[in-house]
Amino acid sequence: MRALGGDADTRCMTTTAEVRRPMVLCVDDEPFVLEWLRGALRRSFDVRVAGSGAEGLEILQGAPESFAVVISDMQMPGMIGSEFLRAARVTAPDTVRILLTGHSGVDAAIRAVNDAHLFRFLIKPCESQVLMRACAAGLTQHFLQTSDRALLQDTLRGSVDALAEVLALTNPAAFGRARRVKQLASRLAKAAGLRNWWEVEVAAMLAQVGAVTLPQATAEKLYAGARLSEPEAAMVTRIPLVTRQLIGKIPRLEGVIEILDTVHTACRPDEADGQHAPIPAGSWVLRIATDYAELESQHVAPNVALGALRGRNLYDPGLLDVFAAIVSVGETPTVLELSVPHLQVGMTLADDVRSERDSLLIARGQHVTERLVERLANLGDGVRQPLRVYDTGTDSYL
C-alpha cells in the first residue's frame, strides 16, 4: 500500500489524530477486504469493522453520532449494501455514506445513490489513495453537516415561530391542536432518544399551517372531532398539500418535509415493506402524538385513548410504551374501535357513546346487549363513530 505523504488533507487529519481521530465504519462480508480497508485508513482514522449489514447497524445504533463515514460493500449475504446504507441513513443521518461495488454492480450502485443518499460510490478494485481521498472528502462533508446544525436550528426557529404566530391569529383551533401535538411529540422524541428531535417539533407545529385556508367554523368542527360535510371534508384533505406548498419555500427543511410526507403512512417497523426506503422515526413519533391528541379532543380518557392506539396495531410498540410513561398512563387494556354493525353482545363500552350533536347516548362501562345494538342501529348516522370497546368483553379495567 502506498503512503500518502503528499496529500494535504491527509496530513491535516494525521496531525489532529493525536487529539481524536475521526471514526469510520467499514462493512464487508470478506475478512481480507476488511483488513485491507483497515490498513488503508488506520493512519488517519479510527477504523471499526463489521462482517454484515446487521452487525453494522448494531454498531451504529450503539453510537449513532460517533462515526463520520461508513463504507459498505454492495454484494453481501442477508442484507446488500444499498439496503444497509438506507437503514444507516435513518440510524445515523449525519454519517457520510460510501458504497463499494464491482463493475457488474454499477447500475445497482447508481440506483442506491438516490435510495440511500450516498456521498460517493467507488468501483472495486479501488486504490488506497482513491479510498483515502474519498474518506477525506466525506470527513469534510460530515463536518459541514454537523457544524451547520446549530445555526440551522436557530435560523429556522424564527421562520417557524412566524408561521405559528400567523396560524394562531387566523385559526386558533388549528394552533391549539398544533401546540398540543408539538408538546406530546417533543417529549416522546426526546424520551426515545431521537437525535433530530427538533425536526419532529418543527413538523408538529407546521403540520397544520395549511389549515389557514379553512373557514373558522370548519376548523372548530374538525378539531373538536365533529362530523364534517362533504365540502368541508374535501377542504380538509387539502391541508397537507397546502402545508407542503408553504413550507417548501423555506430552505433546509428536507427532514421536516420527509416526516410530514410519511407521517400518515407510518406503520409498525416489523410490518414495513423492505422494498421501500425506511420511514423516519420522527414520522412514527408524530403520528402517535397526532392521533392521541385527536382522541383527547374527543374527551377520551387517557387510558382509553392509549388503549385505542394499541388496538389499531399501527404503531411501534416500543414507542407506545415510552409514550405511556410520558402521559402517565399505567397498565392499559387494548381498546377496539368499531362501527355499530360490528358490535357484539358481551362487549364492554370503554368510552361514552355520543350523538353527532354531542349528546350522551350511552355511558361507558355498559355491557353490549341485543337491545343496545338495536337502539344504536335505529339511530343510524346520528351516532358518533367509531365506538370504543374493551376487547376482553369485561369491565375489569373500569
331 vs 15: which has the higher pLDDT: 331
Q: Which three cell numbers stand for residue 395?
A: 369491565
Going 24 to 30 to 31 to 33, the CA torsion angle's sign is negative
* 187 contacts: CB under 8 Å, gap ≥ 6: 326
Count how many Cα atoms sit within 13 Å of the Cα of residue 123 in the half-sphere of its side chain. 7
70 vs 256: which has the higher pLDDT: 70
Burial 172-193 (b: 16+ CB within 10 A, else e): ebbbbbbbbbbebbbbbbeebe
- Backbone angle region of 307, left / alpha / beta, with phi > 0 → left and psi within -120 to 50 → alpha: alpha
Tell me which amino acid residue 182 is.
K
Q: 25 - beta bridge partners?
A: 48, 70
* 37 contacts: CB under 8 Å, gap ≥ 6: 26, 28, 47, 49, 71, 131
Give 301-323 pLDDT, tens digit per residue.
888 899 999 898 888 888 999 99
Tell me which amino acid residue 197 is.
W
Q: Which three cell numbers stand for residue 7?
A: 496529500
Closest by CA position to 139, among listed 4, 41, 275: 41
Please determine, for residue 396, whether its predicted confidence score (pLDDT) is greater than 50: no
**Contact (Cβ atoms closer than 8 angstroms) between residue 383 and residue 376:** yes
Question: Looking up cell 373557514, which residue turns up?
Answer: 215
* Percentage of the chain modeled with pLDDT above 90: 26
* 360 contacts: CB under 8 Å, gap ≥ 6: 352, 353, 354
Tell me which amino acid residue 55 is.
E
Give 210-226 pLDDT, tens digit per residue.
888 888 888 888 887 77
**Contact (Cβ atoms closer than 8 angstroms) between residue 296 and residue 376:** no
Q: What is the mean pLDDT of the chain?
A: 81
Beta strands in 102-211 (DSSP E): 120-123
Of how many residues is the chain composed? 398
| Residue 254: predicted pLDDT | 80
Question: What is the phi/psi pair of residue 42, to 5°?
Answer: -70, -20
Tell me which amino acid residue 331 is.
E
Give 352-389 pLDDT, tens digit per residue.
888 887 777 887 778 888 888 888 999 888 898 899 99
| Residue 189: predicted pLDDT | 92
Give 19-45 pLDDT, tens digit per residue.
578 999 999 999 999 999 999 999 999
* Percentage of the chain modeled with pLDDT above 70: 83
Give 253-310 pLDDT, tens digit per residue.
788 888 888 887 755 545 544 444 567 889 999 999 999 998 988 888 888 899 999 8
H or E element in which residue 354 lies: strand 353-354
| Residue 243: predicted pLDDT | 86
Q: Which three cell numbers stand for residue 48?
A: 471499526
DSSP SS3 for 389: strand
Closest by CA position to 134, among listed 144, 148, 123: 123
**pTM of structure:** 0.56
Domain annotation for the chain: domains and CATH numbers: 8-145 (3.40.50.2300), 171-286 (no CATH), 335-390 (3.90.105)
Please determine, for residue 16, whether its predicted confidence score (pLDDT) is greater than 50: no
Q: Which three cell numbers stand for residue 307?
A: 388503549
Give 151-199 pLDDT, tens digit per residue.
666 666 677 777 777 777 677 778 888 888 998 999 999 998 887 788 8
